[in-house]
């Protein structure tokens, strides 16, 4: 039976909800009371590492797991452009409300008001904290912090550290974690992968994790579990994510009872290096910040494959500036990505391939000089040149949209608690803040808001307000869950087929990209569901693996993750099929305006979907959380 979910949003005026909530909730006293509480945090990115370090500072007994060889390598490290905060340092009219408004509008009115407002409020403290930790943000000659603009907004509120903002913020988190490691409050488990969640008497009480070097599978118990394991873009195989990024921890929690929300909301980022060949393992992002100075264009004439240097100005179509004069090249990601697809589908593309458009810095170099452009984007230009071989200072850069970020994720209430009590979900792994489309420079903001500020407080409230029986790893639930994990591995190793993990993952990626990608339709989604089912069957009958599970074996790790993607991919298609409207990154071809823009159906679809797992090859049940907007007028989103 489907039911409506309660997000437990506190009462009172929007601006006071979070503070009042903290006043109303119980606390855990410092010292021994905190030390006796064990907390497991999975993931060491901005959300997970931030939460683990902060919980450590508060005196809890924290275990922090990551699949990387060091917490410093979590995929937050790859974020380039920046982090938003409503500081209004530029005196250009920014405020908490404006950041809240931009984020809700950017998400096409499909995110939760109270969460987004809290995010905007907490954004400022993130900058203060990061600066104080020695994050070397870009600065003006007067010594103050610099800002730049990102898509979908008309203020400059993005803080940055060259094109490596994620790296620098993550190193800040890592330094805090290192400090807690030395202090003995956080015990690190690098090269460990969470493979299942242990639920005892309806509450999350631990995890099963595998040591990726020795293959040893072990049980870990705690009073609460925090998942901050990122998104699921690699379901498309080719994405901007790291090759080890995966959805396994989140998916296994889903199988244990955590609902999965809005899986069809995926962000296809407009500016990645175009795909080159079928040998490729990933797509490389070119930061959105490039659209501050780069102008996007295609030849006016369909099929024009001349080199860009031979195409005169009047034969170029700067289609974003033409279609969206108010925001121009800085429209939000979903809009920019779809517009590129429209041009390429009409046969207008860059010389390199049928799926590429130009991002041209000629005008910016003329206006600012080469040195200023190099100072702003030099590392990105170097990266691009290395990959494509063209020099972007001389030949316009070529770009094409690529899977990048997933707004969907495990359902959480206002306290970031999933439908399993004691299981909290933070950062990209949850669904709550970005609606159907995330604005640029907001992922780092959400990761750190959750990690530094929200998780430590809501977990404390949970621990103080919940009666927790003593549980150890000898409990039957631990044994049964570990048995399931072992069986799963044996099943994988016993297939002994002839197709590699990469082969099958590539096929899954093609189905996802063609039918559950930038544009979707009912017929295609039904085909996707059938196609993924077949692939799943093939995987379980014909997978080739070598080596053993008692060793470092990356093929086995990837096979284990692909098994989950083969289920998650189908859920994405089901969610997209159910959502008979277009909103943000979810574009149904049956639902668009005459001008080709997304057409929402607020009457029927102003809700969050939350899918309940019902067993392998069983149809999931959808529950709903209704969305209401009391502090913002719901409008048709326009950037014209």
Partner 1 sequence: MANKGMTIHLKIWRQARGAKDGAFVDYTVQDVQPEMSFLEMLDILNEQLVKKGEEAVEFDNDCREGICGTCGMVVSGVAHGTHAACTTCEIRMRSYNDGDTITVEPFRASSFPIIKDLVVDRAAFDRIQSKGGFVSMNVGSAPDGNAVPVPKEHADKAMDAASCIGCGACVAACPNGSASLFVSAKISQFSWLPQGDPERTRRALMMVEQMDAEGFGDCSNHGECEAVCPKEISIENIARMRTEFIKAAFKG
Q: Where are the alpha helices (DSSP H) in 184-265?
A: 248-255
Q: Residue 97 CB, nearest distance to partner 1 (Å)?
A: 20
Q: Residue 162 CB, nearest distance to partner 1 (Å)?
A: 6
Q: Residue 129 CB, nearest distance to partner 1 (Å)?
A: 5
- Closer of 189 and 565 to partner 1 (Cβ): 189
Angle at 233 between CA 105 and CA 556, to 5 degrees: 160
Q: Residue 116 CB, nearest distance to partner 1 (Å)?
A: 21
- Cβ partners under 8 Å of residue 448, min gap 6: 46, 47, 50, 83, 126, 129, 130, 169, 173
Distance CA 375, CA 83 (A): 19
- Closer of 73 and 110 to partner 1 (Cβ): 73
- Closer of 37 and 505 to partner 1 (Cβ): 505
Q: Residue 494 CB, nearest distance to partner 1 (Å)?
A: 15
Q: How many CA atoms lie within 13 A of 330 on its CB side?
A: 17
Distance CA 157, CA 142 (A): 18
**Three-class DSSP category at 457:** helix
Distance CA 134, CA 506 (A): 41
Q: Residue 442 CB, nearest distance to partner 1 (Å)?
A: 18
- Closer of 128 and 580 to partner 1 (Cβ): 128
- Closer of 383 and 460 to partner 1 (Cβ): 383
Q: Where are the alpha helices (DSSP H) in 107-247?
A: 113-132, 165-183
Helices H, strands E: what count in the chain? 18, 19
Nearest CA-CA partner of 540 in 516, 560, 568: 560
Nearest CA-CA partner of 473 in 229, 216, 205, 101: 205
Angle at 233 between CA 229 and CA 239, to 5 degrees: 125
- Closer of 15 and 138 to partner 1 (Cβ): 138
- Closer of 170 and 198 to partner 1 (Cβ): 170
Q: Residue 387 CB, nearest distance to partner 1 (Å)?
A: 7
Q: Residue 368 CB, nearest distance to partner 1 (Å)?
A: 17
- Closer of 133 and 634 to partner 1 (Cβ): 133
Q: Residue 57 CB, nearest distance to partner 1 (Å)?
A: 5
Distance CA 228, CA 222 (A): 16
User: How deeply is 93 buried, as exposed, middle or buried, from its count of CB atoms within 10 A (0-12, 13-18, 19+)?
Assistant: exposed
Q: Tell me the CA distances in angstroms from 296 to 162, 399, 596, one per residue in order.
A: 22, 9, 19
- Closer of 168 and 261 to partner 1 (Cβ): 168
Q: Where are the alpha helices (DSSP H) in 29-95?
A: 32-35, 46-58
**Three-class DSSP category at 607:** strand
Q: Residue 350 CB, nearest distance to partner 1 (Å)?
A: 13
Q: Where are the alpha helices (DSSP H) in 389-430?
A: none
- Closer of 278 and 469 to partner 1 (Cβ): 278
Sheet holding 397-406, edge to edge: 266-272, 397-406, 357-360, 295-299, 316-317
Find residue 61's DSSP bridge partners: 38
- Closer of 162 and 588 to partner 1 (Cβ): 162
Backbone angles phi, psi at 25, to 5 degrees: -90, 150
Q: Residue 79 CB, nearest distance to partner 1 (Å)?
A: 9
- Residue pair 290/149 in contact (Cβ under 8 Å)? The answer is no
Tokens standing for residue 37: 């509480």
Distance CA 61, CA 16 (A): 31
Q: Residue 485 CB, nearest distance to partner 1 (Å)?
A: 21
- Closer of 179 and 218 to partner 1 (Cβ): 179
- Closer of 112 and 148 to partner 1 (Cβ): 148
Q: Residue 525 CB, nearest distance to partner 1 (Å)?
A: 30
């Amino acid at each position: 039976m489907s039911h409506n979910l309660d997000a437990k949003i506190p009462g009172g005026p929007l601006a006071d909800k979070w503070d009042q909530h903290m006043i109303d909730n119980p606390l855990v006293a410092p010292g021994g009371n905190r030390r006796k509480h064990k907390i497991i945090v999975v993931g060491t990115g901005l959300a997970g590492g931030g939460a683990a370090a902060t919980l450590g500072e508060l005196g809890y007994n924290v275990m922090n797991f990551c699949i990387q060889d060091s917490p410093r390598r979590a995929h937050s490290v790859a974020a380039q452009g920046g982090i938003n905060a409503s500081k209004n340092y530029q005196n250009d009219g920014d405020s908490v409300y404006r950041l809240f408004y931009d984020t809700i509008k950017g998400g096409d009115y499909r995110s939760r008001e109270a969460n987004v407002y809290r995010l905007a409020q907490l954004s400022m403290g993130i900058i203060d904290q990061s600066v104080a930790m020695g994050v070397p943000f870009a600065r003006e000659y007067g010594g103050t912090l610099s800002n730049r603009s990102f898509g979908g907004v008309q203020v400059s509120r993005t803080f940055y550290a060259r094109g490596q903002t994620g790296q620098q913020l993550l190193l800040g988190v890592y330094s805090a974690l290192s400090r807690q490691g030395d202090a003995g409050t956080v015990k690190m488990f690098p090269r460990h992968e969470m493979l299942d969640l242990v639920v005892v008497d309806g509450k999350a009480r631990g995890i099963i994790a595998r040591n990726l070097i020795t293959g040893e599978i072990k049980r870990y118990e705690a009073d609460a579990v925090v998942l901050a394991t990122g998104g699921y873009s690699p379901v498309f195989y080719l994405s901007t994510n790291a090759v080890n990024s995966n959805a396994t921890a989140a998916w296994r929690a889903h199988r244990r009872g955590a609902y999965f929300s809005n899986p069809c909301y995926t962000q296809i980022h407009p500016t990645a290096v175009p795909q080159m060949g079928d040998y490729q393992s990933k797509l490389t992002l070119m930061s959105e910040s490039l659209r501050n100075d780069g102008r996007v264009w295609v030849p006016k004439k369909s099929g024009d494959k001349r080199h860009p240097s031979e195409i005169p100005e009047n034969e170029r179509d700067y289609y974003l500036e033409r279609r969206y004069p108010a925001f121009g090249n800085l429209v939000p990601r979903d809009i920019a990505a779809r517009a590129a697809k429209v041009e390429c589908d009409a046969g207008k593309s860059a010389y390199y391939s049928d799926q590429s458009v130009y991002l041209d810095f000629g005008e910016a170099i003329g206006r600012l000089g080469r040195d200023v452009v190099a100072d702003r984007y030099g590392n990105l230009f170097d990266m691009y040149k290395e990959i494509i071989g063209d020099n972007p200072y001389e030949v316009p850069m070529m770009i094409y949209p690529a899977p990048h970020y997933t707004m969907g994720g495990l359902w959480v209430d206002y306290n970031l608690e999933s439908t399993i009590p004691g299981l909290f979900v933070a950062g990209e792994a949850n669904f709550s803040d970005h609606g159907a489309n995330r604005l640029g420079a907001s992922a780092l903001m959400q990761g750190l808001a959750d990690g530094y500020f929200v998780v430590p407080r809501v977990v404390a409230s949970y621990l103080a307000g919940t009666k927790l029986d003593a549980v150890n790893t000898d409990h039957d639930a631990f044994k049964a869950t570990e048995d399931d994990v072992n069986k799963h591995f044996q099943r994988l190793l016993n297939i002994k087929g002839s197709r590699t993990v990469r082969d099958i993952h590539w096929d899954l990626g093609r189905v996802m990209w063609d039918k559950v990608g930038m544009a979707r339709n009912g017929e295609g989604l039904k085909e996707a569901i059938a196609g993924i089912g077949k692939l799943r069957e093939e995987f379980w009958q014909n997978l080739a693996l070598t080596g053993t599970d008692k060793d470092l074996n990356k093929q086995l790790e990837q096979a284990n993750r692909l098994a989950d993607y083969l289920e998650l991919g189908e859920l994405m298609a089901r969610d997209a099929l159910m959502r008979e409207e277009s909103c943000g990154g979810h574009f149904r071809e049956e639902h668009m305006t005459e001008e080709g823009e997304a057409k929402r159906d607020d009457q029927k679809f102003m809700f969050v979907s939350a899918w309940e797992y019902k067993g392998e090859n069983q149809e999931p049940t959808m529950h709903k959380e209704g969305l209401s907007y009391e502090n913002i007028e719901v409008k048709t989103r326009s950037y014209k």
